Structure 1
Amino acid sequence: MGETLKIAFVYDVIYPWVKGGVEKRIYELAKRLARRHEVHVYGYKHWDGEDILEREGIVYHGTIKPKQIYSSGRRAITPPLLHSIKLLPLLSKERFDVVDCQAAPYFPCYASKASDSSLVITWHEFWGDYWLDYLGKFGLLGKLLEKGLFNLADHHVAASLKTKKDLYNAGIRKDVHIIPNGVDFKKIQEIEPSNDQSDVIFVGRIIKEKNVSLILKALATIKQELPDIRAVIIGDGPERKSLENLSSKLGIQKNVEFLGFLKKHDDVIAYMKSSKVFAFPSLREGFGIVVIEANASGLPVVTVDYEMNASKELVIEGKNGFIAKVDERDFAEKILIALENKRKMKRVSTNIAREYDWDQMVERLEKYYQGIV
C-alpha cells in the first residue's frame, strides 16, 4: 500500500464548477486518492464564503474569482496569471510530498516551484508551433513558456501516447510516464437510457476546435438517404449561435437539437445510452474522455484523422469506432457504417472502455507518486 502522502493538484478551473476533461480527471483521481492520502486542489475560487472548502475528502483552495474564463472564444490570459501570483505564497508555506501541476496554462507550473515538494507536470497536449497559428507572433511567448517546463521539473506525466511522442519530438530529455484519463465504468453501466432517442450525439464545449460544423454538414448529406436522421448536440460555448444558424442554412434544423449544457453528468450519459453513434470530429484533443464514456455507453465513435486529435488513438478501426478524413462526405459515410453496425460493435466498445476505469488509473498514479517520493 505504501506510505500516506500529502498531494496537491494545481490547475486553474475546478470541477464541478467547470466541467471539462482536465477538471474531471483531477476530480476523479483526487477523490479516490483522498481515501488513503491527504489531497488538496488549488484553483479559481468558484464558490462563495471561505477561501478553503472541503468536500468528498478533498481540500479545495480558491485563489481568485475570475470575471470571465474565456475571451473572444479563447481562454483569457489574465486570470491564470493572477491565479499564479496568488499561488506563490500559498504553495511556499505548505510542504507536500507531491505537487501535480497541469502543464497548461503554464504560469501555475512556474508558481508551483515555490513549494518544497516533488513537482510533477501533467501534460494533456503539447502545442509547439500551433501557438503561432493560435496567436500569431504573440504565440512565441506561449511556445517559450511551454518549452520552459521541460527543465522546470524532473517528473512528467502525459495523458496520451501522442502527447508523449510530441514531447520527445520537441526535445524533452526527461522520462515521460503515461497515465491516461478514465471513466467511472461501473456507474455508467448503472445509468438508464433517456427516453429521448437519437441516431447521432455529440458532447463537448462548443468551440471552433471541436469542429461541430463537420457533423452538421455530414448530417445534411446523410439526410438525403435518411430523411428522419436525428442528432443531439450537448454542450455550450461561443460557437453555438453560428452552428444553430448553419443548421437552418443547411435545412436540417428539424433534425438537430441543441440541448446546451446539462448540469448532471448522469443526464449526459443517459442521452448517450439512448443514441446510436457518437460523433466527435475534434481537431485538437489532448485525450478525449467523452470517447471512452461513449464506448462505455455502448456507442461506436466516429472521429477524424487530424494531427492534433489524440482521441483517434482511442479508436480501433471497425472495433469501437471509425476514423474519418476531415471531409463531410467521408464523415457522413463513416456515421452510416457505424449506424449499420452499432449492434455488433456495442460489446467490443464496452469491453475496450472497461480497461479505462478510474480505479485502475488511480492505482497507476499512486504507484508513480510512491516511486518518486
Structure 2
Amino acid sequence: MKIALFTDTFIPNINGIVTSILNSSKILAKKGHKLYIFTSEPKDKNFKKPNLGKNIFVFYYPITNIIKYPDFQLAVANPSNILSKIKMIQPDIIHIHTPSILGWEALIVAKMYKIPVVGTYHTLLPDFLKYLPMNVNKSDFAKQFTWGYTRNFYNRCDLVTTPSIAMKKELKKNGIKKVTFLSNGVDIEKFKKIKSKKNGNVILHVGRIGYEKNIDIILKAFHELFKTNKKVRLVIAGKGPALESLVSLSKQLGMSKNVEFLGAIDHDKLPRLYSSADVFVTASTVETEGLVILEAMASGLPIVGVNKLAIPYIVKNGRNGFLVKVGDYQKISESINKLLKNEKLRVNFGRESQKLVKDFSLGNIIKKLEKIYCSLI
C-alpha cells in the first residue's frame, strides 16, 4: 500500500518521534509498502539528506519560527504543492504524527481526496507548555486551550493511536473519541544484551536533553551517591537546550570528572552504550511511552524512574526496577545505590526487563499497524 506520513520532526533530529517513524518506515518498506514522508527541512543547510531505500521518499518543506524553542520545528508547505503531490501519489492512507500546520494541511487534503487518516498522539502537549517561553504557559486557560485544540485536531482523524495505555486513558478523559493503544515498538534483536565487562558503577541516561526531562534531578541524585562512592560514573547521552546548564550544574556540584556528556549518539551505536551500563535512570514526567526505557529493558538493564504517565506501565516496581515520586532525588539515589551494591538484584531485574519488553516487539507492532491501515482502507 501507499502510505503518506506527515511529521514536523525528522532526521537529523534525534527524538522518540523520529526513531518511531524511522523504525516503522524501514520495516514497512521492506515488506513492499511505499512510504512518502512530508516533513520540515533541516536547520543545518549542510545536512546531507540520506537515501533511506527504494520505497521511502522524503519531501522537505520550509520551517517557521512561530514558537521559539530550541530544536522545535514547524513546517509550512505551500498547500498547492501538497495537493499536487497527494494527487500524484494517490496514497491509500495518511498518517499524521504532529498536530501542526502541516498536519492540518494533511487533514484538508485527506478530506478532499477521501483518504482515511490515522493520527498518532506522541507528546502530552498540556504538560509540555510549562517548558515553553510564554507568559501564559502555566495558566489553566493555556491547558484548556491546548486540550481544545487537541480535540479539534484529532477528532477529525478516522483513528487515533497513542503509544501507552496511560495516554489512551488521558486522551479519552479529555474528549478524544476514537483512540487505540499502539506502542512505538522496540527492535529487541538489535538491543539484545552484548557481553561486556562491568564494574557495577555505571549509571546511564539516554534521551533528548530538554528541560522537560528533569535531568537536573538525576544530577542531584548522583551527587548524593558521589558523596560516599567516588568510583561511580554517570553517562548522559543526547543533545538539547538544557545541556549547557546541566554541564554547569555538574561542575558546581564538584563531580564533572565523574559525569560524562556524550552528546548525540548514532542510533546504531546505542546497543553497545546500553551494554556498558549497570543501571538506567530517568526522572522525566512527560513520557508518553518511554522508548529509551524500552531500549534499556531490551538491553537487560534494571530501571529507576518516576511513577508518572507511561513509566509505571513498563517499569514494574520491585520486579525490573524501582519507581519513585516525581522530583524525589534522594529516593532515586537510594534506589540506584541498592542496585549498584547488589549484583544479583541487578541481574534479576535485568532479566525481568527483557521478559517484559517482549510485549513491545517492533515486528509485532508493525503487524498491528498494518491491520489498522487495512481496516480503514
TM-score (norm 1): 0.87
CA distance in 2, matches of 1:210, 1:73: 14
Is residue 111 of structure 1 aligned with residue 109 of structure 2? Answer: no
Query: Gaps (5+ residues) in structure 1?
Result: none
Out of 332-341 and 360-369, give the one that drifted further. Answer: 332-341
* Alignment map for 1:293-372 (pairs within 5 Å): 293-306=295-308, 309-325=309-325, 326-339=327-340, 340=342, 341-372=345-376
Deviation of 1:313 (Å)? 2.0
Which residue in 2 is equivalent to 1:99?
A: 94
Out of 87-96 and 321-330, give the one that drifted further. Answer: 87-96
> What is the letter of the counterpart of residue 265 of structure 1?
H
* Alignment map for 1:1-373 (pairs within 5 Å): 5-15=1-11, 17-34=12-29, 35-46=31-42, 55-66=52-63, 71-73=68-70, 75-76=72-73, 79-82=74-77, 87-102=82-97, 104-113=98-107, 114-115=109-110, 116=113, 117-128=115-126, 131=129, 134=132, 135-137=134-136, 139=142, 142-174=146-178, 176-189=179-192, 191=194, 193=196, 199-262=202-265, 264-306=266-308, 309-325=309-325, 326-339=327-340, 340=342, 341-373=345-377
Q: 1:123 to 1:13 in 2, by over 3 A?
A: same
CA distance in 1, matches of 2:191, 2:66: 30
Cα RMSD (Å): 2.9
CA distance in 1, matches of 2:277, 2:78: 40
Q: 1:122 to 1:258 in 2, by over 3 A?
A: same
CA distance in 2, matches of 1:163, 1:233: 27
> What is the letter of the counterpart of residue 104 of structure 2?
Y
Aligned residues: 360
Secondary structure (helix, strand or coil) at the match of 2:180 reads strand
> What is the letter of the counterpart of residue 119 of structure 1?
V
Deviation of 1:26 (Å)? 1.1
TM-score (norm 2): 0.86
Q: 1:214 to 1:195 in 2, by over 3 A?
A: same
Deviation of 1:195 (Å)? 8.8
Deviation of 1:193 (Å)? 4.3
CA distance in 1, matches of 2:249, 2:79: 39
Query: Gaps (5+ residues) in structure 2?
Result: none
Report if aligned partners of 1:218, 1:329 keep a CA contact under 8 Å in 2. yes
Q: 1:239 to 1:99 in 2, by over 3 A?
A: same
CA distance in 2, matches of 1:353, 1:85: 44
Deviation of 1:67 (Å)? 8.5
Report if aligned partners of 1:52, 1:61 keep a CA contact under 8 Å in 2. no
CA distance in 1, matches of 2:93, 2:192: 33
CA distance in 2, matches of 1:278, 1:97: 41
Q: 1:118 to 1:72 in 2, by over 3 A?
A: closer
Q: 1:130 to 1:252 in 2, by over 3 A?
A: closer
Identical aligned pairs, as a percentage?
28
CA distance in 2, matches of 1:205, 1:129: 16
Deviations 1:277-313 (A, max 9, x none): 001111211211100110111111111123xx42332
Deviation of 1:74 (Å)? 6.2
Report if aligned partners of 1:39, 1:57 keep a CA contact under 8 Å in 2. no
